[in-house]
Amino acid sequence: MIEVQNLTKRYGQKTAVDGVSFTVRPGIVTGFLGPNGAGKSTTMRAIVGLDRPTSGSVTVNGKPYAQHASPLTQVGALLDAKAVHTGRSAYNHLRAMAATHGIPLSRVDEVIDMTGLGSVAKKRVGGFSLGMGQRLGIAVALLGNPRTLLLDEPVNGLDPEGVVWVRQLTRALAAEGRTVFLSSHLMSEMAQTADHVVVIGRGKILADAPVSDIVAHAKGNGVRVRSPQASQLVELLRPSGAEIRSDEPGLLYINGAQAAQIGETAASAGIVLHELSPVSSTLEEAYMELTADSVEYQSGPAAGAQATQDAAQHGGTR
């Protein structure tokens, strides 16, 4: 278990993490989400003792990381896959890590097999692709057969097979009762992997809930309705308190009313419906909604979109 209590970390005048508290529990996969500069990396570094908190505390399996006699057997971490001597082979790097913790060489062979490094284990790490470097980082994290896994962007650089492998691995480890905490910018993958997510923005927790709850509360959920009598339907539904918006004539998006209720209301008034479809948000949409005010770097519209906007403003294309 990872317990973060009122964690604050300042670098000079900049507050990277501001009074953050959350718990990562065993038996489930917990995702850690946030825009660039939100405080994810600082929080993860504090968990494994690489950054000293300005205030607050972080414990892993009941103790600060530095107080564990054999940290690799308690916490396996992948924070920077490139933090390896490039002249060493993968096998020798793992063997050196094992020697510092009294881990038998047989475990080195096991994690090499688990991570698919067998064919390159004797090659120098400096020649590894990004994906193979990630696999080596995961092998190091698994080396001590730890109770807790901390993985920062573990699928970065992996091919589709590797992404599926990480998903299956993390879920299998959680099913064994281990604590699994991972970050990723791939929302579609996080939606398939995580049971629970913690969302951070500008150093503060924005959400800490099961994935299903976060998606369920997104504004994109509702019912899409198409009707040539849309305005009449709106007037009938307003007393119910439903939230209604329209992006184009004849098209409605309705929140706060079930599809069956809308259909019955329309039928009783003789209103023709061309479409009546429940709409569900994705984790990506919910995440974008949560972090809309916390993005440090805002992108402008794509070149094509900007050209279209400019043409519209000037009365047509040129």
Consecutive 10-residue averages of pLDDT for the chain (318 residues): 96 94 97 93 94 95 93 92 85 93 94 94 91 93 96 90 93 97 91 96 95 86 93 92 89 90 95 93 90 70 51 43
Any domain includes 306: no
User: What pLDDT sits at residue 221?
Assistant: 84
Residues 156 and 111 in one domain: yes
Residues 253 and 149 in one domain: no
Residues 253 and 231 in one domain: yes
Any domain includes 318: no
Q: Minimal CA–CA distance to 176: which of 309, 48, 28, 25?
A: 28
Residues 156 and 198 in one domain: yes
CA–CA distance, 263 with 258 (Å, rounded to integer): 9
Full-model pTM:
0.81
Any domain includes 18: yes
Total domains present in the chain: 2
Residues 9 and 109 in one domain: yes
Any domain includes 314: no
User: What pLDDT sits at residue 298?
Assistant: 60
Q: What angle do CA 180, 186, 190 make, to 5 degrees?
A: 40
CATH value at residue 259: 3.30.70.980
Residues 182 and 228 in one domain: no
User: What pLDDT sits at residue 217?
Assistant: 81
Residues 228 and 186 in one domain: no
Phi-psi region of 266 (alpha: psi -120 to 50; beta: other; left: phi over 0): alpha
Sequence-distant (6+) residues with CB within 8 A of 111 are: 94, 139, 140, 142, 143
Any domain includes 226: yes
Any domain includes 301: no
Residues 93 and 235 in one domain: no
User: What pLDDT sits at residue 318?
Assistant: 37
- Cβ–Cβ < 8 Å for 223, 258: yes
Range of the domain at 234: 222-279
User: What pLDDT sits at residue 107?
Assistant: 96
Residues 274 and 192 in one domain: no
Read off the tokens for 113.
């097999």
Any domain includes 127: yes
User: Which H or E run contains 224?
Assistant: strand 222-226
Residues 41 and 75 in one domain: yes
CA atoms within 13 A on the CB side of 177: 1
CATH value at residue 53: 3.40.50.300
Residue 83: how many other CB atoms lie within 10 Å: 10
Residues 103 and 195 in one domain: yes
CA–CA distance, 141 with 125 (Å, rounded to integer): 16
In the three-class reduction of DSSP (H, G, I as helix; E, B as strand; rest coil), residue 154 is classed as coil
User: What pLDDT sits at residue 299?
Assistant: 60
Any domain includes 239: yes
In the three-class reduction of DSSP (H, G, I as helix; E, B as strand; rest coil), residue 196 is classed as strand
User: Which of residues 159, 188, 211 is at a domain's end?
Assistant: 211
User: What pLDDT sits at residue 242?
Assistant: 87
CA–CA distance, 230 with 252 (Å, rounded to integer): 7
Residues 36 and 174 in one domain: yes
